[in-house]
Amino acid sequence: MRDTAIGIEVTNDPEALSAFLQPDCVAAIWHRQTPPDVQNWLDALDPERLPRGRVILQSEAVTSAVDHFCHMTGLPAGPGRDWLQADIALLAERFSDLTGSRFLRLRLDVITSNACRKFHIDSVTARLVCTYRGTGTQYGISNDGHDPEQIMTVQTGSPILLRGTLWPSHPPAGVLHRSPPIEETGETRLLLVLDSVADPQSEVGEMVLEQVH
């Protein structure tokens, strides 16, 4: 369904995320739920075992990169880990196909503070954000630069696609987003962020993984 007033597509069908490319769409949400057994497993994990890392790579290399992140933190092997790795690879593939990006910046963050607490638009072309554990990304509409009056929260496990300031055309509405304020609540979030990257060589200080053909 499309809220034409604010240009946000919300869909249960991942194929409908293609609406993100339409001129009047500035954000798209794949409304879905993580399998309950996987969600319970993720929520019960020791935060020190949650995978984390940052890398630039081709979508074909995502599975091996995430497997490395999981190995480095000692994330236990099993159905939950298998699902998480496969889902991150799926989202990377869909995001890459949708944006036409050969390279992606993949970031897995474990967050316990008010990271990115201010509403903003990212300095990227396009970004996918998916919260696997904890409160999802918050967003709202603002056309005057102030914080949105109505704040909405993306469901845990649901990816949101956002246009950044480098998108070729200007968005028709000011969709701002932020991390939810969780500091001192004891909450731990596991966050996936994917950015499209045009020139990986221009990115300083990050590893570039290329798929060997």
Backbone angles phi, psi at 140, to 5 degrees: -170, 175
- Mean pLDDT for all residues in the chain: 87
Instruction: Please state the rounded mean pLDDT for residues 101-126.
Output: 87
Distance CA 11, CA 16 (A): 7
Distance CA 13, CA 2 (A): 13
Instruction: Please state the rounded mean pLDDT for residues 182-187.
Output: 82
pLDDT the model gives residue 6? 63
At 35, list the tokens: 């399998």
Residue 159's pLDDT band, with cuts at 50, 70 and 90, is very high
> Is it the case that residue 213 has pLDDT exceeding 90?
no
The pairing of beta strand 160-163 with beta strand 27-30: antiparallel
pLDDT the model gives residue 135? 94
Helices and strands, number each (H, E), in the chain:
3, 12
Dihedral-angle region of residue 184 (phi above 0 means left; psi in -120 to 50 means alpha; beta otherwise): left
| pLDDT above 90 coverage of the chain, percent | 62
Coil/strand/helix, residue 166? coil
Higher local confidence (pLDDT), 167 or 169? 167
Cα 158 to chain centroid, rounded? 9
pLDDT the model gives residue 144? 74
> Is it the case that residue 72 has pLDDT exceeding 80?
yes
Count other C-beta atoms under 10 Å from residue 153's C-beta. Answer: 14
pLDDT the model gives residue 148? 87
Instruction: Please state the rounded mean pLDDT for residues 126-132.
Output: 96
Collect all residues with Cβ–Cβ distance below 8 Å to 25 and sequence separation of at least 6. Answer: 2, 7, 8, 9, 19
Name which of 72, 177, 87 is nearest 132 in CA terms.
Answer: 87
